[in-house]
Amino acid sequence: MIETSPIARAETIVDEALARYAGNIALACSFGGPSGMVLLDMIAKRDASVPVYFLDTGLLFDETYALVDRVRERYGIEPIAVRPELTVDGQNARYGEALWARNSDACCALRKVEPQQRFLANYDAWITGIRRDQSASRTNVGILSRDDTTGLAKIAPLADWTSNDIWSYVLAHDVPYNPLNDRGYPSLGCTHCTRAIAPGEDPRAGRWSGTDKLECGLHASFSALGANGTS
Ligand code: SF4
């Protein structure tokens, strides 16, 4: 069996996904962690017409919005801001102030999960930078999985990459990334629900810190396809 590099494997997966779902596939990029930026680099260089979207909760860090601007200039693409039905003020008015502090699952459902489902209703597949080494809750991430309710395919070409693989690619290809990654924020979401981590902490320990919440719900209802989740 011929050994292939992580980059070669991921590029093959990306190529096959773009061919199989041509015109009906989008890249989810949070503009927070570096994994999405690696995929954005790979995909934009292959086909700049592939939609790249981010969930603009209205509560992202200034550095995240600035990175969207940098990508627009660097790659000549227009990232799509997928927004909730309600503004932050509208949510506060309907559900009370600071829903994220009282019921983060409800807040994520309103500001992330529903907007993504609404956006992806126009597609057959989406690509994500989720990786198995990011946290204990992600150790079983499959490279190809399927939404049990909608039938949408989810492709994670970097599922078996390590953090070192990611940063090697970022540096070798001069990929733009969020400067907060260098300041203790390896994983970034909304300002209210993200803190810097201390050395040695789990990379996602800064997300919803102090609660038992691990995920926002975007990766909740998928099951692996194939015997090992890789085909
Ligand atoms: S991460 Fe926090 S603020 Fe953002 S949608 Fe989820 S609960 Fe709301």
**213 Cβ inside 6 Å of ligand 1:** no
- Number of structural domains in the chain: 1
pLDDT tens, 4-44? 899 999 999 999 999 999 999 999 999 999 999 999 999 99
Residue span of the structural domain in which 132 resides: 6-224
Residue 160 falls inside a structural domain: yes
| 184-201 pLDDT, tens digit each | 998 899 999 999 999 888
Instruction: Indicate whether 230 belongs to any domain.
Output: no
CA-to-CA distance for 71 and 34, rounded, in angstroms? 13
Question: How many angstroms separate the CA atoms of 202 and 133, rounded?
Answer: 10
189 ligand 1 Cβ < 6 A:
yes
For 131, the 3-state DSSP assignment is coil
Measured by CA distance, the residue closest to atom 1 of ligand 1 is: 190
Cβ of 88 less than 6 Å from ligand 1: no
Residue 231 lies in a domain: no
Q: How far is CA 140 from CA 137, 196, 228, in A?
A: 8, 26, 9
| pLDDT band with cut points at 50, 70 and 90 for residue 221 | low
Structural tokens at position 213: 């919440």
Which of 55, 57, 211 gets mutated to test ligand 1 (max ligand atoms within 8 A of its CB)? Answer: 57
76: left (phi over 0), alpha (psi -120 to 50) or beta: left
User: In this structure, which amino acid lies at residue 145?
Assistant: S
| pLDDT for the residue 137 | 75
Pocket test for ligand 1, best of 112, 188, 207 (most atoms within 8 A of CB): 112
Residue 229 lies in a domain: no
CATH number at residue 147: 3.40.50.620
Q: In whole angstroms, how far apart are CA 12 and each of 26, 97, 105, 139?
A: 17, 46, 36, 22
* CA–centroid distance, residue 189 to ligand 1 (Å): 8
Q: What is the pLDDT of residue 223?
A: 66
Tell me, yes or no, whether 1 lies in a domain.
no
Is residue 92 a part of any domain in this protein?
A: yes
pLDDT digits (tens, 9 = 90+) for 96-134: 999 999 999 999 999 999 999 999 999 999 999 999 988
82 CB neighbour count, 10 Å cutoff: 18
pLDDT given for residue 85 in this prediction: 97
Q: Is residue 149 part of a domain?
A: yes
Helix (H, G, I), strand (E, B) or coil at 222: strand
Q: What's residue 231's pLDDT? A: 35
**Cβ 116 under 6 angstroms from ligand 1:** no
